Amino acid sequence: MQTWSRFNIASVVLGFAFLYLPIVLLVVFSFNESKLVTVWAGFSTKWYASLFRNQGLIDAAWVTIRVALLAASVATVLGTMAALALTRYTRFRGRLLFSGMVYAPLVMPEVITGLSLLLLFVAIGFDRGFWTVTLAHITFSMCFVTVVVQSRLLSFDRSIEEAAMDLGATPVRTFFEVTLPVIAPAVLSGWMLALTLSLDDLVIASFTSGPGATTLPMKIYSQVRLGVTPEINAACTILIGLVAVGVLVASILTKRREVQRLRDEQAAFAGR
């Protein structure tokens, strides 16, 4: 066991303070009695109550959730298909170009993605709104899914697919009964990544959204420009809470599965 030197303690405290102080402040002030964000006037939960009466914010949240669920799901299907094509058909013409193009949105500045999508929608006369935001989110989150799924597929043992076909499964059944269940964890984490990206996107949504399709980040941003209210703090605190719970549950599940696996393997070797 290493000893904790003062230097180590200091760097840990500083590091965490740097990361979390702003968030802690935000959470604390969401329980502030006063309307002034920077002046503490006692504990209160009234901003949470008023948050749920703010129809604008609730509408925006609803739009965001619908966009995120739809975009993440479509992006997962397309991204998984792209990952399969890239790992399986390594010899087709223009593969290098294709893989480069799939990854381009990863490094492309969001402003450019947003602007080009806006130009496209205007050019083809697509009315901006819910569907344009969704399409835009599919476009930029798909490549993230591809990256996640592709890295799983690279370590995938192709012989289990061959075994399935050898046992009489057609290629389609092989995919749904063998390939997909095995890569499901990667597909799921791709989906969650796409969901998160879509939930907190501001730039691309601002470019491609239209009337009636204001997302939560856009709403918060526009309200902040009018002045930060504790209501926004409350909204953000709820978001932080949701994310924290999600991360916690995911890591507990992973940890549990690892422990279980280890125990199984030990049992297998003990009982051979």
Partner 1 sequence: MKSLGNIRRSFAPWTDPDAKPFITFRNVTKRFGDFTAVDDLTLDIYHREFFALLGASGCGKSTLLRMLAGFERPTSGEIILDGQDIAGIPPYRRPVNMMFQSYALFPHMTVESNIGFGLRQDGMPKAEIAERVAQMLKLVKLEQFAKRKPHQLSGGQRQRVALARSLAKRPKVLLLDEPLGALDKKLREETQFELMDLQQELGLTFVVVTHDQEEAMTMADRIAVMSHGKVIQVATPAEIYEAPNSRFVADFIGDVNILDGTVSASGNGKIELAARDGFTVRTVTGNGPATGSAAGFAIRPEKLKVTRAAPADASVNAAQGEIWDIGYLGDMTVFHVKLDSGKVVKASMLNAQREVEDPIAYDERVWVSFGETAGVVLKD
Q: Residue 204 in contact with residue 113, Cβ under 8 Å?
A: yes
Cβ atoms of residues 190 and 80 within 8 Å: yes
Give the count of residues interacting with partner 1 (CB under 8 A).
26
- Write the interaction track for partner 1 spanning residues 105-144; mark x where CB under 8 A is met and - where it is not: ----------------------------------------
Length of the chain: 272
Q: Report the C-alpha gap between 76 and 64 in whole angstroms.
A: 18
Rounded Cα distance between 155 and 263, Å, is 23
Return the number of the residue (2 or 170) whose C-beta is nearest partner 1: 170
- Please identify, using beta-carbon distances, which residue of 127 and 264 lies nearer to partner 1: 264
Site track 222-261 with partner 1 (rule: CB under 8 A), x = hit: ---------------------------------------x
Residue owning tokens 């043992």? 157
> Does 159 interact with partner 1 (rule: CB under 8 A)?
yes
Considering the rule CB under 8 A, would residue 90 count as an interface residue with partner 1?
no
- The C-alpha torsion from 5 through 7 and 9 to 14, rounded to 10°, is 180
Is 88 a binding residue for partner 1 by CB under 8 A? The answer is no
What's the first-to-final CA gap in the chain, in angstroms? 36
For the segment 170-209, give every residue that binds partner 1 (CB under 8 A).
170-171, 173, 177-178, 181-182
Q: Would you say 208 and 118 are in contact if contact means Cβ atoms under 8 Å apart?
A: yes
Two structure tokens written together for 243: 């994310």
Sign of CA dihedral 84, 86, 87, 93: positive
Indicate whether 156 belongs to the interface with partner 1 (CB under 8 A).
no
Is the CB of 226 or the CB of 268 nearer to partner 1? Answer: 268
Residue with tokens 């760097």: 11
Distance CA 50, CA 114 (A): 33
| H or E element, residue 94 | none
Smallest gap from residue 170 Cβ to partner 1 (A): 6
Tell me if 269 contacts partner 1 by CB under 8 A: yes
In whole angstroms, the minimum distance from the beta carbon of 268 to partner 1 comes to: 5
- The answer to whether residues 140 and 192 touch, using CB atoms and an 8 Å cutoff, is no
Residue of 163, 188, 245, 252 interacting with partner 1 (CB under 8 A): 163
Taking CB under 8 A as the criterion, the residue among 37, 81, 84, 169 binding partner 1 is 169
Which residues contact partner 1 by CB under 8 A? 157, 159-160, 162-171, 173, 177-178, 181-182, 261, 264-265, 267-269, 271-272
